[in-house]
Amino acid sequence: MTVPIPAVDQLRSFAASAEDLASAVLSAYESFRNTSDQDGDPNSVRMQAFRLPHAAGEILQAAEDLRVAANYVDGIPQFATNPCEFPWGVCPEHGASLVSSGGCTWCRTCRRAWNYPRLALPCREAARWLLTDQAGDTRHVCDGHATAARAQLIGAHVVPLPDREDV
Ligand SMILES: [Zn+2]
Ligand SMILES: [Zn+2]
């Protein structure tokens, strides 16, 4: 069982609604323009309508932002049933080798990339190891965090979790 990330479809439907609204605003603008052709006082009609294309553009920009937001949320993997207990991400293979910039993340060692700020989000990988630190505190951790702990945590002790699925 995984915990679903909410709202991706909802964000996409917001974007579609915004695009519909932008089309409606542009149609309204067209009717203003057509009216002005037949109207005795076209300037006053244009005065009413000149903001509409700008408004439609703003709405389309909002739709684009919503689609980017939806893609972004979609790119984040769901939590494993037994997620690692570290509140930041690592490379699943190389541990603490990630760099983030502009909302994206990549591993300095294998160049694998993620299109979300993996370092800033809780680790979502399956926990497969029991980590005991120097102070005796324990956490369930993933392969990447086990690698990072072995490399970085002095006095850390890492053993396989007894109930991990592949043992
Ligand atoms: Zn890597
Ligand atoms: Zn982890």
Looking at the domain assignment, is residue 165 inside a domain?
A: no
Token pair recorded at residue 129: 């190891």
Which residue has 């049933």 as its token pair? 81
- The Å distance, Cα 160 to ligand 1 centre, comes to 21
> Helix or strand or coil: residue 98?
strand
- The Å distance, Cα 8 to ligand 1 centre, comes to 28
The predicted structure's pLDDT at residue 167: 47
Do 14 and 71 share a structural domain? yes
- The Å distance, Cα 106 to ligand 1 centre, comes to 8
Does residue 164 surpass a pLDDT of 70?
Answer: no
Looking at the domain assignment, is residue 43 inside a domain?
A: yes
Do 153 and 104 share a structural domain? yes
pLDDT tens across 98-140, in order?
999 888 899 999 999 988 889 988 898 999 999 999 999 999 9
Domain limits for position 54: 8-75
The alpha carbons of the chain give a radius of gyration, in whole angstroms, of 26
pLDDT tens across 59-105, in order?
999 998 888 888 777 777 777 888 999 999 999 999 999 999 888 89
- The Å distance, Cα 11 to ligand 2 centre, comes to 28
